[in-house]
Chain A
Amino acid sequence: MNTMTLDAAGQAEPVQPKAVEQDTVGTQTKVRETVGKPFCDSAKLRMRNVNVFYGEAQAIHDVSLDIGRNEVVAMIGPSGCGKSTFLRCLNRMNDTIEGCRVEGELSLDDEPIYGAKVDVVPLRARVGMVFQKPNPFPKSIYDNVAYGPKIHGIASRRAELDEIVENSLRRAGLWNEVKDRLDKPGTGLSGGQQQRLCIARAIAVSPEVILMDEPCSALDPIATARIEELIDELRENYTIAIVTHSMQQAARVSQRTAYFHLGHLVEVNDTETVFTNPQHELTEAYITGRFG
């Protein structure tokens, strides 16, 4: 493995990882240390030296990253680079995959995410997720949104539940379109509406973090624009990690962008820096379209 390079900050904080904050542009592409700014002061999610294995194969190599409060972090990279796998570590959705093993320290508000004592049910209520393919339940629109509050026992009265449903749908920008047909199946909506319904469903339990795994890949440009707007609005209250294949989207919605390559986190920087002045040559190659 790589040699540990600790800077001053790293020594001050034992959990600080081996990230090199030096300019590595122009050096060998074999460099496996993250360049840029993977850490931030007010981290909501803190990941240190995360390794993920599928059986024998290692999908994520030694990734360290912070996701700040009310920040949108975009994760980009070629297919199979491990960005989705990494995202799914954050609410332990990888638990369900046979033979998947996660190593490293992951914490949400300094509470560990992995561990024998950690209950995934409250964790997933705090870290919501929106998937690549819109996947509303084959139930009514109302029931889709009300499901989370119901199972977690958030609303005690019907009126309260109604309010949560309406608020969630409003925040997802779907209320006006569906308020007259809340009892119709959620699966009958258009693709873009379904995805917004899924977002409404996710925010109905007031999570702190929302993970989005290519939320717009199945949508047309208009629906995509609507969702991007929504992400921007949601940033006020939530911390968002979004995986995307569209660099324009990353540029539009995120404050920081992380570039993954073959399971390594190559570069994390302010979004503007990544797209205008990438520090790593792999990043540059990817965003200029030389591969990927």
Chain B
Amino acid sequence: MNVVVLNEVRKGFYLDSVALMRLSREVAGSPGVIEAALMMGTPSNAAIMRNAGLLEEGTAVKGNDLVIAVKAESETAAREALDNAIKSLDKPKSQGEAQSAWRPHSIAAAVKNRPEINLALISVPGEFAAAEARKALNRGLHVLMFSDNVSLEDELSLKQQARAAGLLMMGPDCGTAVIGGAPLAFANKLMRGRIGIVGASGTGTQEVSCLISEAGAGISHAIGVGGRDLKKDIGGITTLMAIDAFDSDPETDHVVLISKPPHPDVAKSVLQRIGKSKKSFTVCFIGASEVELPPNARFSPTLKGAAELALGHQKIGAGFDANAVASRIPRNGRGGIEGLFAGGTLCAEAQVILAAAGRKVASNAAIPGVLKLGVEPNDGRDRLIDLGDDEYTRGRPHPMIDPSVRDEALRAALKNRDLSVVLLDLVLGYGAHADPAEHLTRIVADRGRDAPALIASVVGTEQDPQGRSAQVRKLEQAGILVAPSNAQACELAVAIVQNAGR
């Protein structure tokens, strides 16, 4: 086969990653196309395209160039796909897309005209994100930085600058926050209430806030701090400021702190600060053993447990009995469990629950005590994969936006006779895919009768754009078991594989 690669470079042309994903998919679906990519020509994207053999010899690109790259079976097929991509790019925007609203070219211009602006939501490519955050802080704005791939040095310096100015620097890699009902980045439509959340974990914050909201209580605000805030290098700068903010917030009675286990020195200073607070706290360090807490705090190693403590010991999904459900499910396969997670913290919580049930577990995002995948042979362990990890998302959107990231691994798992259960998560809300259940049910529709059982949890609320119950119904109609929470999905998985010899 004569493989042909063609490139088109648009100088000074920017499209966001979601728009690029949509166009990439159109081009990749053209007849005769083997592979296609539409990307901004940042150094990291250029490396991805070069490694994939998608850049023609001698093609030079810069970070403000849009690159269309097509690899096809013939020159004609490549040319046709490229021409179609160019036509799509040049298509005039519809009235809705164009939005008559004023669009300044910089943060400075926006703030000059609208001095009421008090927060910048930044989701540009990581290489440029720190620069934009600095511009926002310089103009007295709080920042939520959704972008990842920002250096630890930049994170520290931005957070120090923010603290000195009395501003909140949420992120980098801050997936979610809800401030006064404003959903920032991936966030759910939550009931307003008197429980606050400080989260170093995006999907952890979403799971806890949705479980609380669906249980009939509500959230005052959820402040994201970014996944590295409680590491030694950063020292919990934003976490400590968020606790201060909740301490003086009259709308908040109780605060839930969610993070992977912090560095011991950082944990100490955060717990000391909690001890001085007038409010009560739930501390959820996913997978940590019991920590020494001040009298106004309680501990949970799981997200579900944290939601229950915050709700005053109200049980989540009280009518759900994993053993009773498992007893009705025939066990296919040889007893293995594979988890394919869009939510990194849901993957971590799954590791905690499976390990506590005595399962041997491996993960690409291993928590302490769990084998890191790829380091040594898997040895028949349960595999719990975080599909939001860099290795799956480099150069493409997060699986919460583009659930097809999971397709290949899911198709393979459905045919793997070592597996008895595949664990899945769907994350709903603003910013997420419009109908992840529809996508998932299409992928699993033609699975064999001897395929592993599929168990899902749905992170979301009834008020979310996708509607939680509508998503659950679609999954159940496709024969997928749906648990009230991620933790209970894991308990059901364990119950099914332990039903050996029935």
The answer to whether A and B come from one shared complex is no
